[in-house]
């Protein structure tokens, strides 16, 4: 391997440390948001478990990459043949294989969440049938690639393991491109057809929500990694590091939006179409004060229905004051 590979590996490890700190921060914010509730439901408990699994898998990847770098550059700095020879002889050492396994499982978990989110946003299982089939094919390729790269004296970035890795990476990036396009397309369609001029649609159809919901940055980083990896360019190791980190950070950001109640749900389309981000019953007194009118107020402060109730007092809610 060239000096480009060595430098890319070193810089990639530094980016791993930075992005791991970001991931840890988002994870803590997610847990804090859930624990603030008096009685977390089963979905909250699952999200805690899923987030913890993502973090642990990411930790394994970051730790194994850091340890291998230390072994290659510091502990075995005087290895016969230099760092390139050490990399050739120990690229398939057990903890490197463990780290590769963690990155593959992390990627599969991330894409499984993307498929589920795509189903939620579209509300039609037929939309995700092909992504599910492609996901199963990707799973099989990932396991095969893991076995190939774990054979003694094999290398993830050369030989048969690299060719099989190209097939696996192409498959999983294709899956992410399809899911990102489906999610972005659905949100933009709903936004342009029903959400124009409605303040309650911004939380779901703005640029940042779309990027997070569709994991667009993760997909773009995957493409940036796939191109040099397929060509056999040594700089691919750098993009691999950033891409793997994004496969943990992207779903964690989605989960944070879910627990904060800002993520797209099965009722979001209906909410945008009707223009009612939420509905609250309140009451407004008539001019004389003898009676009051009970109304339902939507997210824009507009009255949806009303009826007259005699002798009723009321306290305006925060929503009613909007």
DSSP assignments along 183-232, one per residue:
HHHHHHHHHHHH-TT-GGGHHHHSHHHHHHHHTHHHHHHHHHHHHHHHHT
pLDDT beneath 50: ranges in the chain: 276-322
**Predicted local confidence at residue 283, as pLDDT:** 34
**Predicted local confidence at residue 3, as pLDDT:** 86
**Predicted local confidence at residue 90, as pLDDT:** 86
- pTM of the model as a whole: 0.80
Task: Name the residue among 248, 109, 91 with its Cα closest to residue 172.
Answer: 109
**Predicted local confidence at residue 67, as pLDDT:** 94
**Predicted local confidence at residue 207, as pLDDT:** 85
Sheet harboring 291-297: ordered strands across?
280-285, 291-297, 303-310
Buried b (16+ CB within 10 A) or exposed e, 282-311: bbeeeeeeeebbebebbbeeeeeeeeeeee
List pLDDT tens digits, range 105-157. 999 999 999 999 999 989 889 999 999 999 999 999 999 988 888 787 777 77
Task: Name the residue among 164, 156, 194 with its Cα closest to residue 270.
Answer: 194
**Predicted local confidence at residue 191, as pLDDT:** 78
Cα–Cα distance for residue pair 28/25, rounded to 1 Å? 5
- The tokens for 172 are 């999983």
């Amino acid at each position: 391997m060239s000096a480009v590979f060595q430098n890319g590996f070193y810089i990639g490890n530094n980016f791993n440390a930075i992005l791991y700190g970001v991931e840890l921060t988002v994870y803590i914010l997610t847990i804090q948001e859930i624990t603030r509730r008096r009685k977390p439901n089963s979905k909250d408990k699952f999200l805690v478990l899923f987030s913890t699994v993502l973090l642990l898998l990411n930790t394994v990847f970051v730790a194994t990459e850091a340890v291998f770098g230390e072994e290659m550059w510091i502990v075995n700095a005087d290895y016969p043949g230099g760092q390139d020879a050490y990399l050739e002889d120990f690229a398939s050492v057990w903890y490197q294989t463990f780290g590769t396994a963690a990155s593959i499982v992390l990627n599969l978990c991330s894409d499984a969440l993307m498929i589920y989110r795509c189903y939620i946003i579209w509300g039609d299982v037929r939309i995700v049938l092909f992504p599910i089939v492609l996901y199963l094919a990707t799973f099989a390729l990932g396991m095969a690639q893991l076995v190939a790269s774990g054979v003694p004296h094999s290398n993830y970035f050369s030989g048969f393991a690299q060719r099989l890795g190209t097939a696996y990476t192409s498959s999983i990036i294709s899956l992410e491109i399809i899911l990102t396009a489906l999610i972005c397309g659905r949100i933009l369609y709903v936004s342009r057809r029903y959400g124009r001029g409605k303040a309650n649609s911004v939380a779901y159809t703005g640029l940042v929500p779309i990027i997070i919901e569709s994991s667009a940055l993760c997909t773009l980083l995957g493409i940036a990694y796939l191109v040099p990896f397929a060509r056999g360019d040594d700089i691919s190791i750098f993009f691999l590091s950033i891409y793997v980190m994004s496969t943990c950070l992207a779903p964690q950001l989605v989960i944070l939006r879910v627990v904060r109640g800002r993520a797209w749900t099965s009722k979001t389309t209906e909410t945008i179409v009707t223009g009612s981000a939420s509905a609250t019953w309140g009451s407004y007194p008539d001019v004389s004060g003898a009676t009051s009118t009970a109304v339902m107020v939507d997210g824009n402060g507009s009255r949806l229905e009303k009826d007259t109730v005699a002798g009723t007092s009321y306290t305006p809610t925060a929503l009613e004051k909007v």
